[in-house]
Structures are given as C-alpha cells and as structure tokens.
Amino acid sequence: MDWVIVQHHSTHETVQHKGAATAVEFDACMKHKLVRKSVREFAEAELGPIAHEIDQEARFPLEVVEKMRPLNFFGLQVPKEYGGAGIDSISYAIAIEEISRVSGSIGLCITVHNSVGISPILKYGTQEQKERFVPRLASGECIGAFCLTEANAGSDAGGVETHAVFDNGQYVINGTKIFVTNGGVCSLPLIFAITDSQAKPGRNASVFIIEKGTPGFSVGEIEDLCGMRANPVSSLFFEDCRVGPENLLGREGDGLKIGLDALDAGRIGIGAQAVGIAQAAYEASVKYSRERQQFKKPISSFQSIQNMLADMATEIDAARLLVYRACARKDSGKPFGKEASMAKLYASATASRVTGKAVQIHGGYGYSKEYDVERYFRDAKVTEIYEGTSEIQRMVISRAILAEPV
Amino acid sequence: MLKMIVCMKQVPMVSDLPWDPVTGTLTRDAAEGMMNPACKHALEAALELKERHGGHITAITMGPPMAEEILREAIALGADRCLMVSDRKMAGADTLATSFTLARAIEIFCPDFDLILCGCHTSDSETAQVGPQLSEELNIPSIAVVEDLELHGNTLRVKRVSDNFLETLEMDLPGLVTVATGFHVPRYASMAGLHDAFREPGILTVGAHDLGVSESVVGLKGSATRIVDIFSPVAKKENIVLKGAPKKIVEELLDRFDDKIGSLIRKDLKAVG
C-alpha cells in the first residue's frame, strides 16, 4: 500500500505518501460520518417505503427525484459555480453507497448521471459547453446518460457502428445505442460515435452532447431486465440527427480517451453501488438469522450461518476500503484507473457473493419476492457487467501491472 | 433582524443503549451520536421563522468534543454560526448544572438574543427540564412544548396541545420556547450544505474558564441531583401467540379469555356457549 489517509483534525482528511505519513487512520472522519447519516436518513425515509414497489412495477420515482434535486444529488461533485455541491470523492462514494443500500436502481441513476453523465463535460467541455449544459444537469432539471453499448459493441468499443458525418456545418448522427442506463428519462445524453472510419482505432470516435428534442433523436421501449428495474434502461435511436460542432465534446477523435476517462470515474461509483447493495443484504441477513428459529434456536447460533455472516462482513469491508482508496487517489490528483478497476471488480463480485449468501440464509423466504434480499440478489449481478465487465476490469488491471517498471 | 439561539444535544442513535450499573450512566461510546430529534424540530422551527422574517441562528451545544458533529449538521441545515461548550469539568451535569452553564455561555457569547428555541425533551434522558430551567436562569418568559410559531412584531404567538385542548399563547420577546416534535418537520441536509459545514476547520469552543465559572458549579459537582439507581424495566406480562386454524384459534381465545371478553361486551359467554 503506497498511501494512507491521515487525519490531522477531526474534520479534515488528507492523503499523504508513505514517507511523509505519521499515522494510518481507517475510521471515518466526522464529515464522512455526517454525510453517511444524512444520506441514509433521506434514503430510508423517502426511498425505503417504495423501494420494493418501484422494483416490482419497474417505475422510475419522479416524486423522489424532485426531492433529491434541491439536496444536490444531481450535482454531487460539480463545482459550486455550476450549481453543484462540490463534495470530495469519498463523500461521493458514501452517498452512492447509502442510496444503493436502499434502492440499487436509484443509486445507479445518480452515479451514472454524476460520473459518466457530467464529469466528461466538466473535464473536456469548453467554457461555453460547461455554462450551457452543466447547471441544467447539476440541478437535476436534465438527467444525463452515457451511450457506448450497441448491438455489436460493448467491451469492444471498436465495434461501435453509430457514426457522425460532418455535413454542411453540422454532424449527422445515425445509429442505435442499447441498454442505456437512465435512457427513458435522460435529456442530455453523451453519445459515442465514429467520426472518421479511416482513422486508426482509438482515434476514430468522438463524443457528442445530445439535447432531448433534437430532431432524429428518439427513445426506445424500456428494457425488461432482471434487476435495477426502477431504472428506465432503454435504447436510444439516432436517425439523421443533426447537431452543431458546439455539441462535440473535446476534439474530433477524442472519443475513446473521453470514454475511458469517464469510465475510470464511473467505476468508483459502481463499486460504491455494489458495496451499498451488499451492505443491505448483509444487514438483512444478520437481522433475519437472529429472528429465524430452527431446531428451537435462532439460526445465528449455527456455525454454518456464522461463517457466512463473517465472510460477508469481511468482504464488504475489503470492498469498501478498495473503493475509498480509489477515491482518495482521485482527489489527490494521482492516477486511479487501476485502483478504480480493482475496487469495481472486487466490490461487484462481493455484491454477487454476499447477496447469494443472503438468499441462502433466508432460505425459501429469500427466494420470495416478499423479501428484499431477492431484489438485492437480482440487482447485484449487473454490477459485474456494466461500466466494464469483470473480464474487462481484469484486463485494465493486468495492463497497468505489466506496464509498471520491473 | 430576529436573533435566535437553538440549544441542542447529541444523543445516542440507538434506544436500547447499554448502561454502566456502577456509575448509573449510559455507555455512550457504544453508539454513534445524532442530533436529538426534538432539537432538530426546534432548529426547523427557527429556520422557518428565519425564512419568513429574516434572522440569524446560533446553534449551541454542551457536550463532549464528538458533539461537534451536531453543530456541523446545524450549519449544514442552515444555522449561521455555532458555539460549542465543552470541558471535562462539565461532565456528569444534571439539568440544573446544564441550564446554569448554557445560561452563562449565552450571557457572554450571544447576550442580545430575541428567541431561544430548545427541543421539548431529549430521547436519552427525557426530563424536559433544561429549556424551562434555562429561561429561569436568564430571567425570561418561556412556553414549553409548542407546535406552531408566529411572529407579530415583538410578540411571539404559539399554539400548543395541552391535555385535550389547543392553546394559543402570546409572549413578548426575548423569550424561550421548547418545540414539540411533529409540527415542524425537519428538512434534510443538502450535500452542498454538508460540504460548506466543514469548510471552516475549527468551531468556537469554550470551557469553564471562558465562562468565568468555578468547577464547583458545573458538571457533576454543580449538580443538585444524583442518580441513585438505574435499571431496565422488566416486562412482567407475557405475549401469547395462538397458532393453528382460525376456528381453533377463536375457540382457544374464547376458552382463555371468555371472562374478560364477556365483561367487555356485557354477555356471559359461557351461558351463550
């Protein structure tokens, strides 16, 4: 470990190199504790009572979104001048964790909107683009999305077929994006499209900011998915959709770089989301195992159950620390791609394992839709798939390892 | 401008906190702290008055250093400044020593207040005494357990439920109210508010020396009461769960309780059967 979080004061967290460090402190600072309590209070009160229902009805709860807007959930890390909260990355991860602990679908909406939906505009946008688009996203007036996946492209970004042709001072976009998180409600999605099919891979794609209402841009049916059912995941269609150069993010050919950059940040969010889902499943399991009686004893008195709970708690802790490490590196301005991938890889696998054990501990009830662990089990799986499958994360990590000097 | 003070206390987050049978005090370290729910309602009442009439809110707490968290939370929610009264000498204070200490802090650090708002009671000790005692210490009028607050010039009009009656009372300022839970529904802290609440590294913290009071009048030494004994209530009644088919359950219920049910509906169920 080449970093430590040092707390000089109860309210301040800083990250230092090992050489300069005087203490390793893994307890949350007061700020992060208060962020967790505040977000938990909101999520349990506002999302808790409807989390089961919105999953069953596959309904996006606009009434809760309205309440989240003034609390800055749609501009978590956006600087104040654009209407955001400007919080640090660990606070960000805690917020995503706590929302996801109650509703994975809404945690997904918030993290995708904030990370891959907004951060590329903040990093690569012109001043004019930032002023034009970011305040609308940060206030939650517009919901963002990031569209890379297509029928023949996902892990292989080179397989993208959506293309944008420059014609008469405008780009003409044609193609179909699938499995777009927030697709059904997004009004400022970022689109990944080929702008120069002759250029070498890695330099042939660009990213465009598309506004809802642009002729030729339409939204498909909401997907009928296994989990994350309250998130309106859908296809987006582009048929001769014309946008001006002012909607091109970065330079032509920057697409892959912007996409990979966005995904680094996005993976912190998905890691945090996975930790939140796992935490919910773990808490439900502890509670249930204390209450459920078999052989005239609570099942928590059996070693088989105790072992499962111990493994669940240990893996969640490890996953959480990996996520926070990636956050700390990001905030200190260091490269964090490898660490974000490690966090996402481990946290998503943890979410799947932990929710699986939670179902097992609940027995037949865990397999019933009456109990929340069934929802956690379904929601967890996709954290191993989106924003880079576990296989892609291993590729990113191994490339980083093998590129390190011997 | 209406100058308000909201007094608040950090309480343990769980209700069934273990207590030390030797000292008779709660083992507070065992749980995370939180802003006492009624204090949060008092802060909300102050924030709503500020929104309607303009004003300035100072949040004050007396407690250990970890209680700083609720002052940060108050800032995140919209308080303008905060004051921490913290000193090891103040530990173990009963309500009398607490209200005495708070009164001295208010006299020195925010003497020109118009209205003090306290929560009506705390979730850990439930005495409901500190607010009214504080008004006695400061020699100002007070109204306890208020719900609705309206400001008319220098007069505060409040509503409160007293037994089964809804009272409307008026009080000239400066004065003190303790706020009931239920009416002023606390807002949630925004993420921007939380971020801002931690921008200043330190907060104003004062001890016994700063208040010019001796050790003998604060904390355990300054307390007029002592906890003689503390115990968990023992449930003497046992719940009975009847199981089986509905018909069997009803029969068993009547078998067991025919006397009680019969006397309630004024029928001799044995005779009916």
Residues from chain B contacting residue A11 (CB–CB below 8 Å): 68, 72, 198, 201
B271 and B156 share one domain: no
**Claim to verify: residue B138 and residue B268 sit in the same structural domain:** no
Res B251: pLDDT:
87
Which of B13, B34, B188 would best serve as a mutation to test chain A binding (most A beta carbons within 10 A)? B188
Look at residue A201 in the predicted model and tell me its pLDDT: 84
pLDDT at residue number A14: 43
Nearest to A9 among B190, B195, B201 (CB): B201
Class of domain A263-403: mainly alpha
Measured between beta carbons, the chain A residues lying within 8 angstroms of B72 are: 11, 30-31, 34
- The whole-angstrom distance between B225's CA and the closest CA on chain A is 33
User: Is A161 among the residues known to form the active site?
Assistant: no
Q: Which residues of B touch A140 (CB under 8 A)?
A: none
Backbone angles phi, psi at A297, to 5 degrees: -140, 150
Gap from B11 CA to chain A (nearest CA, Å)? 14
Which of B188, B191, B201 is closest, CB to CB, to A11? B201
Which residue of chain B is at minimal alpha-carbon distance from A85?
B192
pLDDT of residue A21: 44
What separation, in Å, do the N-terminal and C-terminal C-alpha atoms of chain A show?
17
- What whole-number distance in Å separates Cα of residue A267 and Cα of residue A128? 28
- Report if residue B272 sits inside a domain: yes
Confirm or reject contact between B62 and chain A (CB < 8 A): no
Encode pLDDT of A24-33 as tens digits. Answer: 667 779 999 9
Query: A11 and B194 in contact by Cβ < 8 A?
Result: no
In sequence order, which ranges of A166-254 are alpha helices (DSSP H)? none
- Are residues B254 and B182 located together in one domain of the fold? no
Same domain flag for B163 and B202: yes
Of B32, B72, B191, the CB nearest to A72: B191
**Buried b / exposed e along A269-291 (16+ C-beta atoms within 10 A):** bbbbbbbbbbbbbbebbbebbee
pLDDT tens-digit readout, A146-173: 999 999 988 888 889 999 999 999 999 9
Interface contact B44, partner A, CB < 8 A:
no
Is position B227 within any domain?
A: no
Instruction: Collect all residues of chain B within an 8 Å Cβ-Cβ radius of residue A10.
Output: 65, 68
Binary contact (B191, A71; C-beta < 8 A): yes
What does the pLDDT look like over B9-39, one tens digit per residue? 999 886 556 666 666 666 666 678 999 999 9
Please compute the mean of the pLDDT values over residues A39-54 and round it to a whole number. 97
Q: Is the per-residue pLDDT at B151 higher than 70? A: yes
A95·B191 Cβ contact <8 A: yes
Residues of B in contact with A70 (CB under 8 A): 190
What integer pLDDT is reported at residue B20 of this predicted model? Answer: 67
- Crossing angle of the two packed helices A104-112 and A89-102, in degrees rounded to 10: 150
Same domain, B68 and B20: yes
CB of A371 within 8 A of CB of A296? no
- On whether both B245 and B197 belong to a single domain, the answer is no
Do the chains contact at A34 and B197, CB–CB below 8 Å?
yes
Please give the Cα distance from A311 to A292 (Å, whole number).
20
Residue pair B141/B171 in contact by the 8 Å Cβ criterion: yes
Residue A8 has pLDDT above 50, yes or no: no
Interface of B with A in 175-214 (CB under 8 A): 188-192, 194-195, 197-198, 201-202
Say if CB A289 and CB A298 are below 8 A apart.
yes
Q: Which tokens belong to A62?
A: 């606009």
Distance CA A47, CA A61 (A): 9
Q: How confident is the model at residue B164 (pLDDT cuts 50, 70, 90)?
A: confident
Helix (H, G, I), strand (E, B) or coil at A211: coil
Parallel, antiparallel, or unpaired for β A144-147 and A188-194?
parallel
**Nearest C-alpha in B relative to A35:** B194
Whether pLDDT at A11 is above 80:
no
- Band (pLDDT 50/70/90 cuts) for residue A202 is confident
Residues B243 and B146 in one domain: no
Least confident stretch, A187-191, A357-361, B196-200: B196-200
Domain of residue B93, CATH code: 3.40.50.620
How near does any CA of chain A get to the CA of B189, in Å? 6
| Residues B68 and B143 occupy one common structural domain | yes
- CATH 1.10.540.10 domain residues, chain A: 3-138
Residues from chain B that touch A86, judged by Cβ atoms under 8 A, are: 192, 195
Please give the class, per CATH, of domain A3-138.
mainly alpha
Indicate whether B222 belongs to any domain: no
Q: Say yes or no: B246 and B188 in one domain.
A: no
pLDDT grade for A15, boundaries at 50, 70 and 90: very low
Contact list, A71 vs chain B (CB under 8 Å): 188-191
Dihedral angle computed from the Cα positions of residues A299, A302, A305 and A307, in that order, rounded to the nearest 10 degrees: 160
Number of inter-chain CB pairs under 8 A, A vs B: 66
Task: Catalytic residue, from A339, A387, A391, A404: name it.
Answer: A387
Flag whether B224 is in a domain: no
| A130-138 average pLDDT score | 98
Contact: B194, A38; criterion CB under 8 Å: yes
Nearest to A30 among B34, B68, B190 (CB): B68
Q: Is residue B60 part of a domain?
A: yes
- Same domain for B204 and B259? no
The answer, for A42 touching chain B at a CB cutoff of 8 Å, is yes
- Collapsing DSSP to helix, strand or coil, A30 comes out as helix
Chain B contact for A84 (CB, 8 A cutoff)? yes
pLDDT in tens, A210-231: 999 999 999 999 999 999 999 9
Q: Nearest residue of A to residue B68 by CA position?
A: A30
| B16, B70: one domain | yes
CA angle (B179 as vertex; B174, B180 as ends), nearest 5:
160
Provide the percentage of residues in chain A whose pLDDT is more than 70: 94
Top pLDDT among A10 and A405 is at A405
Contact A87 B194 (CB under 8 A): yes
Question: Given this model, what pLDDT does residue A9 score?
Answer: 40
Higher-confidence position of B264 and A179: A179
In angstroms, the separation between the Cα of residue A371 and the nearest Cα of chain B is 23
Q: Is the CB of residue A217 less than 8 Å away from at least one CB of chain B?
A: no
Q: Specify whether the CB–CB gap between A338 and A397 falls below 8 A.
A: yes
* pLDDT for the residue B77: 98
Q: Could you tell me if residue B229 is inside a domain? A: no
Q: Does A35 touch chain B (CB under 8 A)?
A: yes
Select from A13, A29, A32, A34 the residue whose CB has the most chain B CBs within 10 Å, as the one to mutate to test that interface.
Answer: A34
Q: Which fold has domain A144-256?
A: Butyryl-CoA Dehydrogenase, subunit A; domain 2 (2.40.110)
How do A163-167 and A205-209 pair as beta strands? unpaired
Contact state of A38 with B73 under an 8 Å Cβ cutoff: yes
* Collapsed DSSP state (helix, strand, coil) of residue A6: strand
Q: Residue B122: what are its φ and ψ, rounded to 5°?
A: -105, 155
Q: Which domain holds residue B129?
A: 3-217
Q: Does B52 map to a domain?
A: yes
In-domain check, residue B230 = no
Same domain, B92 and B212: yes
Best residue in B13, B77, B194, B199 to probe A by mutation, most A CBs within 10 Å?
B194
Q: Cβ distance B268 to B254 under 8 Å?
A: no
Q: Specify the number of domains making up chain B.
A: 2
Contact B32 A37 (CB under 8 A): yes
> Does residue B247 have a pLDDT over 80?
yes
Lowest pLDDT segment from A169-178, A305-314, B104-113, B159-168: B159-168
> Which pLDDT does position B272 carry in this prediction?
61
In whole numbers, what is the pLDDT of chain B averaged over residues?
90
For A34, the closest of B72, B190, B192 (CB atoms) is B72
CA distance B195 to chain A (A): 6
Closest CA–CA distance from residue A197 to any residue of chain B (Å): 43
